[in-house]
Structure 1
Amino acid sequence: MWLQRPVKILKKLGKGMLAFIIFTSIATTLVVWSSGVQYKNIPAKTLTINDITQLNPVTVARIVKPESIDEIASEIASTTGPISIGGGRYSQGGQTSYPDSLHFDMRSFNNVIRLDKEQKLVTVQAGITWRDLQTFIDPYDLSIKIMQTYANFTVGGSLSVNVHGRYIGEGPLVRSVSSIKLILANGKVVNASPHENADLFYAAIGGYGGIGVIAEATLKLVPNVKVERHTSTMKLADYYEHFKTNIRDNKAVVFHNADIYPPDFEAIRNVSWLKTDKPVTEAERLIPKNKEYGWQPKVAGFVADYDVGKWVRQTIFDPIYYAQEAVYWRNYEASYDVNELEPSDRKEYTDALREYFVPVANFSRFAEKMKQIFQKHEVNIINVSIRHALPDPGTLLAWANEEVFAFVVYYRQGTSLIAQQKVKAWSKEIIDAVISEGGAYYLPYQVHASTAQFKKAYPRAEEYFAVKNKVDPNNRFRNKLWQAHYPKNKTPFEQQQAKIAQYYRNEGQTLLTIPEWYLVFNPLEYSNFLSEENNPSDFPFFASIDEYWKLYDKTLALSDNQYPSNDEYMTMLQVIGISTTVEYMYKGAYENTIGRFTHWTADAVTAEENIIRDAHSAYSELIFHQAWYEFDFAYWLKKIWTEPEFFQDNFIRKLERKLFFTLEFGFKELYSGVIKFAAKSAYDESDGKIYLTLHSDKNLEPEQVFPGEILANHDKEYLLSVPRWGGFTSIMPKLAALDVAFTDVSGNYKIAVSFITDKNSPFKPSYGKYLFDSQVVSSQKQKRIIYMVKVSDLAALLNEMRLNDHQIEHIYDY
């Protein structure tokens, strides 16, 4: 919202001004502390799906935790809407969720169905974790043939992304899959293997939940053996030859990876685990589940947070750690737990992964390009691990169409929107680099690639989409990955949306703008209070302070753990809250002393008070639509000193009101001039518009939606721009009255709405989810009610409010 800009500028203008505000507002600390304690336990939405990074919250319509194939098939057959599928939720870009979808949480679907010890085959339900499968097969001296490094993932999730690991002589997970059982969009259950329904087999594995629900899988196993660790260091430039000579065709090597040390990316440590008959140095056959990890996350944090930490790791910690002899069971070395690296929290920063696959011959060229990009963008790399994979046998979204090296990038990033944009910038650049070397990027991570990049990296994507269209013609299986790249999701409007720089906005802002907008509503309350000829000294300034901080805490409690943290915006809310607190404390103290005295001396409302009333009325009207610093404070200062007679009855009140008003508006006139100059100099102007799509069975004419603008229309779908801020709230009910159905607003499917009602009113809207109440401080009879509503229900809600004569106060437009 427009209040954010001056706060950013205030922070840039100098620490002195901010320090003065903070110093003079120390007395507000108790208010801030006391206002929010009771709201910290507001529960987060139970229908919000997120991933390990906590950067991709998505609210689904319903969550089902199936325990049988029949239950999954029945849920699919009895519904018609979008479906998303989740397992351990270790994908990092919304690949397991879709807005308003029926979401299958597969983690309770986790049994071993049968084990064939002689054939070394095991059939499992897709929700079982690799770690639980290891527990089952270890007593039989069997081991998983191919899996990723960490064992927390579900089998179904790993199949959906076609994982790989550190296994030499292997490659993508599909190479160890005998068959799968798949549930399609019509509820039909089918078997698929390289010899039966092969098109479905090679589309579903590595298909990211777009073909159907992988319900069961039959996997190939191998003997569990003892392995011994061998390690050495070398220059990165020497690694490829070392690998070809000593690792690639060595039948004794089971696991192998090489770690490139940041930030120089010149040296590597290669680690191989070879079969051995030596006694084990670790008695446990598997890493214990739920093990407490103390030093490992701290070491990872130290390496991530400090350049010296990276140096200490390379020169001190790793040489000591790898000097120890290590002989483990294969299952032990394959049962790592992601919690050994989990940071204490992910609010301010989060650790994430990227992965790039390059043909073995192009290893050195890509490594140099990668290094240059990381150093250019000052990416906080914790580790780059090199793996090897043989070619994929035929999946349609194969990341290894030939023998490849994988560069697994583990990095730390901030969670703010600015930090996410920085990650997007270097991610797109490095994707271009790997494509230029004939390689691919891995799809389970943040969806930053363009569709053009996706198609270059995955040349058989059109074949995949053809299979999807055949078995899922209504595009039921969806997630954020396919929302970005599947042609059926790219409507003419989405193509147009992509061209609009300011189209997409963060859904979390619809909550965070609530306390900010209160600083617009409250001046309107004050203006109305004066218009009703109330004594200005009776306005509840102190209650207004308390109400702001209550709203701050309520919205923070609701948005916490649902949306990525927005530290910059939270700082802005704190700054404007403190400055408003200071202003209202001074005004409240003044009005309840000097103001009350001069009011007592007067026997009538003075002309100055009428001007002050009109000025605040004009100000409260302007700030619904424009930045506050655009207001003409000087005009009203001149008016109050030139229009009324100076010497008249009630002189004390007249003079005091002139001086009080001059102090308030005079300071704002000076302050606004500075802010306005800085804003024009430092920031690109907002286009002042909100963009949305809607469906209308009637033809919409431009004059019908004025002052909105129709940007595109096709087959009863319209793409519109409408004014932001107050204009958005006023025009949306008019659009709703035309019997339209809104599809999205700024790319979002949820939006907060507030309305004013009597405290004892029994009215409850039929649409949306109640969030909380807010007191209208100038009237003990009224309250503000905040709802979160689906954008698809917004028109129905607005029409219901209109028909029941209820006042919509605001629609919070991000």
Structure 2
Amino acid sequence: MKKIFTLIQLLFTYFIQTIKFIYSGIRKLIRFINSKKIISIPFYSLIAFAIYTFLLIKFSGDPTFNKALDNKTLNDITQINPIQVNKIIKPKTVNEIVYAIKSTTGPISIGGGKYSMGGQTAFENSLHIDMRSFNKIINIDKTKKQITVQAGIRWRDIQKKIDPLDLSIKIMQTYSNFTVGGAISVNCHGRYIGHGPIISSVLELKIVTATGAIIIANRKINQAIFDTAIGGYGGIGVIVEATLQLVDNVKVERHNQEMNVEDYKPYFDKNIRNKDIVFQNGDLYPPNYDKIMSVSWSKTTKPLTDEERLLSDDENYWLESKLSKLVSWGNSGKWIRKNIIDPLVYFPKIVRWRNKEASYDVKELEPSSRDKETYVLQEYFIPVENIKSFIPKMKIIFQKYDVNVINVSLRHALPDNESYLSWANKEVFAFVIYYKQKTNQEAKDRVNKWTLEMTDAILSENGAWYLPYQPHATIEQFQKGYPNSIKYFGLKNRLDPNQRFTNKLLDKYNPYAKNKLSQEKNNKNEYFRAEEQTILTIPEWYLVFNPKEYSDYLESGKNPSDFPFYKSIDEYWTLYDRSTTLTSKAYPENSEYKTMLQVIGVSMTMEYGAKIIYENTMGRLFALFSEEKTSKKEEIIIEAQRAYSDFIYQTAWYEFKFLPWIKKVWNTSEKSNCSVIRKWERTLFFTFEFSFKAFYSQLIQWAANSTYETPANSIYLIVSNLDSVKENKNLKIIKKDGNKMIIAVTRWEAFTNEIIKLSNQNVKIYEISGNDEIAVSVIMNNSQEINSKNSTLLYKSRIVTNDNLKRNIYFLPVDKLLPFIKNAINKNTTIEHVYDY
């Protein structure tokens, strides 16, 4: 304790000395500056101007704006697969699902608990049907031991209803949080001995197809659809109801036995197969993978040691979470698990109800954060006779890539010869791999690399892998591992020819989804753009609109000193505050773009702040000598401001040639009888302004060229009606496929102009740069409004030079963009800009 106290004293002493050194340095610097008048005046002027600029920003903007767009980004439990959808609905009736399908034309994705880990429940710009509110029990037949439920119900909710009836779920996952529809869609399995996947316990399904039709599918009616929907990952339609076979709830007793890997198969055949075993799994211990702990639960008539019927909903899993983190600490954590934790866990004899053992909650696995690291599953299905030869191959790959495997659990499954995407065409052991990885792109790429090698190892043993996890496998690997996928996609294409039901898994492997347009999209690096930028670019574009206002103001003959510079500053930061708040929940953080907006906002504030000072002092003083006449030099200055404002509508401001305009002003001869004092004051002020901008633009251009890639000059759209679209210098047709095509439109002002032209033609837009929503600004009188149920008014903005006008910012689906623009023009409003991301 004395040593610790001494260390704290020493650190405190060093801290005080450092503060004294910094303070002394600052004092010496200030004394030096004060002693040099030639330095002190500009130094303190600079400090004063910095404080002045800070105050301008501080008292500008709209910090009270609290409107945020709804978050339509879906993610799975791993938090490494964010997907932006178009709309999320949470139906409670079948009619709501039917209406949603019939009233839309785009892609549809279906999700439940989001425990599939590779985009199997979502797709970009899709109508997402969140089934979790569709969770009623339709009927329980105690005599037949059958139950009919809505697909969004969780296993745990079923257990609560059937446990008092002494009934139990026949086949489900180890954890009870999953929805029934999700479990059927992945053809799940558990630790149940004597059974295969869940398809063997499903008696009947009710499905809503891509046409909105409701069909019944079982082993007698629509059997092909039944076999395709189970394990079909939502590609056939929406499973709305399922009838399942139940079994009796019984008491079970736990047994455990550790053994060598080579002894596991003989042990299983002798002690597990054809016995009164209900649950069983074998834990294969990393990192050596040479020992297996068999954990089984057999039927028993012994007295209960655990009287609880089901695990409590509010169970505290603090200890389990900490132990999982401990085990993830490299090989030492694995040793602690095998030699200390597991012996303690398996020491007591336990007799409990089957339903209690089947009611585990995934919260026991959930870490405190998945921000920088996350836990992920993979699963391999290896024929029972091949596990001895597969384990060494698996071990080599895990060790080669230093995979942090937490646990490998082996579960037995009988063959499934029904599901078209069956993962068990023969008797298999499922290797459930639970591992930890970082969430950065480098870690994702590394997982992709070793997973591809693992897939080859699986295929070399005539095995398969489970599809609810990362869809890393190549198309060739997928077709080899799932040879009946051709039948699956063939039936899907007949039921859903437009491939509306989709997700990231199906989109990758579906041959009918590989049309010319999708291939062209993926081949173009510049095709996809972040949707949030359609809103974040609004303040940036204000630095284009405001110079136009300034030019209009000067051309109207008004005194430049009267231009509302502070209003302009305030308007910029208002747009910044509103845009960043609007995107704060709906989109991933775009810190790079926000930083850029802050930098250009500070630059604009400094420029306009200096003009406020000058124009309200010297500018107003010299205006008294103007005699309300405009000199030739002033006319050229106004021309220069107009040329600049026109230029930046289509080209970056720093590419404007400032110096030639200075030369032109100075070379202009003056024959009028205008005020000489005012003429030269304006000339000198303009010369200073454009000279500084010329210097600053070179710095910015150098920084931009060295830091950023050349920005893409085109934006890509998918549109229909080929006859109406005509090419020109700003619009090119890239690829045609049927009645749709990809067109490239020049960005910035040209994009807005081309969109206005298209609004007068019979054209429909399906997506723009992979996005389904876009922002538009419209200039109108204060008394005007555009009422459109298909658009959202984000906010109203000021035209700082004209109190009779306003700028309305709308956010709308891209397929409604052209009708909206046509309607706005018909109402005698002005389409100011379409914000092209």
Same fold? TM cut 0.5: yes
The equivalent position to 1:662 in structure 2, one of 691, 696, 700, is 691
Name the CA distance, whole Å, in 2 between partners of 1:421 and 1:758: 52
Q: Does 1:159 align with 2:179?
A: no
> Is residue 606–residue 654 contact of structure 1 (8 Å, CA) maintained in 2?
no
Partner residue, 1:505? 529
Q: Does 1:490 align with 2:514?
A: yes
Deviations 1:673-730 (A, max 9, x none): 3432x14xxx55444221222111626443xx43221122243322211212333222
The equivalent position to 1:254 in structure 2, one of 279, 282, 286, is 279
> Is residue 109–residue 129 contact of structure 2 (8 Å, CA) maintained in 1?
yes
Shift of 1:160: 0.8
SS at match of 2:271: coil
> Is residue 111–residue 182 contact of structure 2 (8 Å, CA) maintained in 1?
yes
Q: Which runs of 5+ in 2 are unaligned?
A: 1-45
Name the CA distance, whole Å, in 1 between partners of 2:263 and 2:800: 74
Name the CA distance, whole Å, in 2 between partners of 1:548 and 1:298: 48
Name the CA distance, whole Å, in 2 between partners of 1:729 and 1:723: 9
Q: Does 1:599 align with 2:615?
A: no
User: What is the one-letter code of the residue matched to 1:587?
Assistant: E
Deviations 1:638-684 (A, max 9, x none): 65677689x953445543443344334423323433432x14xxx55
> Is residue 253–residue 298 contact of structure 2 (8 Å, CA) maintained in 1?
yes
- Of 648-657 and 493-502, deviating more is 648-657
The equivalent position to 1:202 in structure 2, one of 212, 227, 230, is 227
Name the CA distance, whole Å, in 1 between partners of 2:417 and 2:164: 31
Partner residue, 2:149? 124
Structure 1 residues 707 and 429: alpha-carbon distance in aligned structure 2, compared to 1, 3 A threshold: farther
Written as runs of structure 1 = structure 2, the 5 A alignment for 1:619-638 is 619-636=644-661
Partner residue, 1:734? 757
> Is residue 227–residue 276 contact of structure 1 (8 Å, CA) maintained in 2?
yes
Q: Does 1:175 align with 2:196?
A: no
User: What is the one-letter code of the residue matched to 1:658?
Assistant: T
Structure 1 residues 489 and 145: alpha-carbon distance in aligned structure 2, compared to 1, 3 A threshold: same
Shift of 1:635: 4.3
> Is residue 207–residue 215 contact of structure 2 (8 Å, CA) maintained in 1?
yes
Partner residue, 1:466? 490
Structure 1 residues 475 and 317: alpha-carbon distance in aligned structure 2, compared to 1, 3 A threshold: closer
Name the CA distance, whole Å, in 1 between partners of 2:53 and 2:432: 54
Shift of 1:463: 0.5
Shift of 1:85: 3.5
> Is residue 714–residue 744 contact of structure 2 (8 Å, CA) maintained in 1?
yes
User: What is the one-letter code of the residue matched to 1:156?
Assistant: G
Q: Does 1:42 align with 2:68?
A: yes
Partner residue, 2:131? 106
> Is residue 91–residue 445 contact of structure 1 (8 Å, CA) maintained in 2?
yes
Deviations 1:72-123 (A, max 9, x none): 6687689887654433333345544567766554334433344455665443
Structure 1 residues 93 and 773: alpha-carbon distance in aligned structure 2, compared to 1, 3 A threshold: farther
> Is residue 549–residue 577 contact of structure 1 (8 Å, CA) maintained in 2?
no
- Of 727-736 and 440-449, deviating more is 440-449
Written as runs of structure 1 = structure 2, the 5 A alignment for 1:444-483 is 444-445=468-469, 451-473=475-497, 475=499, 477-483=501-507
SS at match of 1:192: strand
Q: Does 1:649 align with 2:674?
A: no
Partner residue, 1:9? none
Partner residue, 2:779? 756
Name the CA distance, whole Å, in 2 between partners of 1:535 and 1:581: 25
Partner residue, 1:371? 398
Partner residue, 2:420? 396
User: What is the one-letter code of the residue matched to 1:154?
Assistant: T
> Is residue 633–residue 683 contact of structure 2 (8 Å, CA) maintained in 1?
yes
Structure 1 residues 244 and 780: alpha-carbon distance in aligned structure 2, compared to 1, 3 A threshold: farther
Shift of 1:522: 3.7
Name the CA distance, whole Å, in 2 between partners of 1:802 and 1:695: 22
Partner residue, 1:137? 162
Name the CA distance, whole Å, in 1 between partners of 2:62 and 2:408: 45
> Is residue 697–residue 716 contact of structure 1 (8 Å, CA) maintained in 2?
yes
Q: Does 1:688 align with 2:716?
A: no
Name the CA distance, whole Å, in 2 between partners of 1:595 and 1:193: 82
Structure 1 residues 571 and 691: alpha-carbon distance in aligned structure 2, compared to 1, 3 A threshold: closer
Name the CA distance, whole Å, in 1 between partners of 2:292 and 2:793: 56
Shift of 1:554: 3.0
Partner residue, 1:211? 236
Deviations 1:117-148 (A, max 9, x none): 56654433322210111222333444333222
User: What is the one-letter code of the residue matched to 1:649?
Assistant: I
The equivalent position to 2:247 in structure 1, one of 221, 228, 235, is 221
SS at match of 1:211: coil
Structure 1 residues 738 and 195: alpha-carbon distance in aligned structure 2, compared to 1, 3 A threshold: closer
- Of 318-327 and 794-803, deviating more is 318-327
Name the CA distance, whole Å, in 2 between partners of 1:809 and 1:448: 45
Shift of 1:212: 3.0
Shift of 1:396: 0.6
> Is residue 382–residue 412 contact of structure 1 (8 Å, CA) maintained in 2?
no
Written as runs of structure 1 = structure 2, the 5 A alignment for 1:46-125 is 51-52=76-77, 55-60=81-86, 63=89, 65-67=91-93, 84-97=109-122, 104-115=129-140, 120-125=145-150
Shift of 1:65: 1.9
Name the CA distance, whole Å, in 1 between partners of 2:795 and 2:358: 48
Partner residue, 2:359? 335
> Is residue 435–residue 456 contact of structure 1 (8 Å, CA) maintained in 2?
no
SS at match of 1:39: coil
Q: Which runs of 5+ in 1 are unaligned?
A: 1-19
SS at match of 1:649: helix
Structure 1 residues 78 and 281: alpha-carbon distance in aligned structure 2, compared to 1, 3 A threshold: same
Name the CA distance, whole Å, in 1 between partners of 2:59 and 2:422: 54
> Is residue 40–residue 553 contact of structure 1 (8 Å, CA) maintained in 2?
no
Shift of 1:796: 1.6
Partner residue, 1:423? 444
Computing the radius of gyration from Cα coordinates, the structure with the larger value is: 2
- Of 604-613 and 520-529, deviating more is 604-613
Name the CA distance, whole Å, in 1 between partners of 2:390 and 2:800: 67
> Is residue 65–residue 577 contact of structure 2 (8 Å, CA) maintained in 1?
yes
User: TM-score of the superposition, structure 2-length normalised?
Assistant: 0.78
> Is residue 515–residue 737 contact of structure 2 (8 Å, CA) maintained in 1?
no
Partner residue, 2:3? none
Structure 1 residues 102 and 720: alpha-carbon distance in aligned structure 2, compared to 1, 3 A threshold: closer
Structure 1 residues 250 and 782: alpha-carbon distance in aligned structure 2, compared to 1, 3 A threshold: farther
User: TM-score of the superposition, structure 1-length normalised?
Assistant: 0.80
Written as runs of structure 1 = structure 2, the 5 A alignment for 1:431-580 is 431=452, 433-435=454-456, 437-438=458-459, 439-445=463-469, 451-473=475-497, 475=499, 477-563=501-587, 565-566=588-589, 569-573=590-594, 575-580=595-600
Name the CA distance, whole Å, in 1 between partners of 2:457 and 2:164: 47
Deviations 1:248-299 (A, max 9, x none): 66324723253766xx787988572443867766553322124455565577
Partner residue, 1:812? 835
Shift of 1:789: 1.9
Partner residue, 1:12? none
Q: Does 1:724 align with 2:744?
A: no
SS at match of 1:38: coil
Deviations 1:375-417 (A, max 9, x none): 4xxx8x5745444342333311123334243343454554xxx
Q: Does 1:675 align with 2:704?
A: yes
Name the CA distance, whole Å, in 1 between partners of 2:653 and 2:186: 50
> Is residue 633–residue 668 contact of structure 1 (8 Å, CA) maintained in 2?
no
RMSD: 4.2
> Is residue 65–residue 104 contact of structure 1 (8 Å, CA) maintained in 2?
yes
Shift of 1:533: 4.8
Q: Percent identity?
A: 36
